[in-house]
């Protein structure tokens, strides 16, 4: 008899604003079935394919975030089919990292029918992805250069003749993304399912332009890590608390040379994924026993969350977020995990504005 196991529906990590390949080493394996988890890695349309923001779509009232709709389609397919693979539909958790944490938008788009029983947001939340291409110039620029432009539209819409930096991100379509998440959260207009949320200590280290002989500006890296990733996660977790939702906050400081070979890299953006998915040995050579322990522990606590999103983590010493509470600190100072005062991060974020509208 096949025993039903827990399911992590992982939205493949990528960036919404530019084109790059997903590192398959991060997600190509399941979080071994010895841990009782099936990992369903789900790609979705990104950048121009997922969030085209085209003039014609906007004028027709059809300017929607197709990348978020992809996530919904994936959740529906898994719900309808995963039992055939041994998965338990009552233990489905939707998670993603970076732009894939746009599954947070999903939690607001489907407040009463989320399908899943919990969420995991790594290095991303509704505070990310502010659209600045209000004139829809990027899609038109590409269309013109590929010979696909609608000439009648070009003649009649002068704003569509502008060119800009080619970046795509989610737009406010009032279907999958809304205008004021603070107001919506406090009004209870979102899925109040439990969530895990957090960020890495040195996020920006892998995202900066290579500095060359000038060397690194570590102050800049720290400040950008705070303003773009850490503090939005802290603010969002606090907002969910005000909305009467359980959120379990983590902060990752794990720094292993097989994943972060340069001494200044530290816990950079997405560096936690090889640990979470158990693929850390496939990177820069053999790891350490501590690395194996951090990886195993991370998988174990996420398994407990999938089994019981409300009580699983508190039973294992990870309390839900509270204003004067604790966060889960991963891989700090050569250790596996410990609790840290959430006030440490809140104090660092005190002067950084929230970005929810």
Catalytic site residues?
98, 203, 269
Residues 6+ apart with CB under 8 A from 113: none
Label residue 263 exposed, middle or buried (CB < 10 Å: 0-12, 13-18, 19+). Answer: exposed
Q: Which helix (H) or strand (E) holds 92?
A: strand 87-98
Residue 209, token pair as written in the block = 């332009």
User: What span, in angstroms and rounded, lies between the C-alpha atoms of 172 and 348?
Assistant: 30
Angle CA 345–278–123, to nearest 5: 30
Q: What share of the chain is helix, strand, coil (3-state, %, to 5)?
A: 40, 15, 45
Residue 251 has phi, psi (to 5 degrees) of: -135, 120
Q: Tell me the backbone φ, ψ of residue 9, rounded to 5 degrees.
A: -90, 95
| Whole-angstrom distance, CA of residue 73 vs CA of residue 322 | 34
If one counts every other C-beta atom within 10 angstroms of the C-beta of residue 215, the result is: 8
Cα distance between residue 135 and residue 228, in whole Å: 24
Find residue 96's DSSP bridge partners.
11, 121
Determine the length of the chain: 357
The residues with which 247 forms a beta bridge, in sequence order, are 195
Using alpha carbons, select from 9, 12, 10, 30 the residue that is nearest to residue 91.
Answer: 9
Contact 152, 128 (CB under 8 A): no
Answer whether 109's CB lies under 8 Å from 103's CB: no
């Amino acid at each position: 008899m096949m025993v039903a196991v827990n399911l992590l529906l992982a939205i493949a990590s990528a960036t919404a604003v530019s084109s790059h390949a997903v590192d398959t080493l991060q997600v190509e394996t399941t979080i071994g079935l010895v841990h009782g988890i099936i990992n369903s890695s789900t790609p979705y349309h990104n950048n121009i394919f997922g969030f085209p923001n085209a003039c014609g779509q906007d004028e027709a009232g059809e300017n929607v975030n197709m990348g978020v709709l992809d996530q919904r389609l994936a959740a529906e397919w898994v719900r309808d089919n995963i039992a055939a693979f041994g998965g338990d539909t009552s233990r489905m958790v939707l998670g993603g990292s970076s732009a894939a944490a746009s599954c947070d938008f999903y939690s607001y788009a489907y407040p009463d029918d989320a399908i899943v029983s919990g969420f995991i947001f790594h290095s991303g939340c509704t505070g990310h992805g502010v659209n600045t291409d209000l004139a829809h110039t990027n899609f038109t620029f590409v269309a013109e250069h590929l010979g696909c432009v609608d000439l009648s539209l070009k003649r009649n819409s002068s704003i569509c003749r502008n060119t800009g930096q080619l970046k795509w991100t989610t737009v406010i379509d009032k279907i999958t993304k809304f205008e004021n998440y603070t107001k919506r959260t406090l009004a209870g207009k979102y899925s109040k399912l439990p969530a895990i949320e957090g960020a890495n200590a040195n996020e920006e280290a892998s995202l900066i332009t290579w500095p060359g002989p000038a060397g690194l500006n570590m102050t800049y890296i720290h400040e950008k890590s705070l303003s773009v990733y850490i503090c939005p996660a802290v603010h969002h977790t606090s907002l969910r608390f005000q909305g009467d939702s359980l959120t379990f906050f983590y902060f990752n400081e794990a720094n292993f040379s097989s994943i972060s070979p340069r001494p200044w890299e530290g816990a950079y953006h997405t560096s936690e994924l090889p640990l979470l998915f158990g693929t850390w040995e496939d990177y820069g050579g053999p790891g350490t026993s501590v690395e194996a322990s951090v990886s195993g522990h991370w998988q174990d606590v996420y398994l407990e969350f999938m089994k019981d999103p409300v009580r699983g983590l508190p039973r294992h010493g990870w309390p839900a977020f509270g204003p004067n509470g604790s966060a889960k600190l991963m891989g700090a100072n050569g250790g596996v995990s410990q609790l840290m005062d959430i006030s440490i991060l809140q104090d660092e974020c005190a002067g950084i504005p929230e970005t929810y509208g």
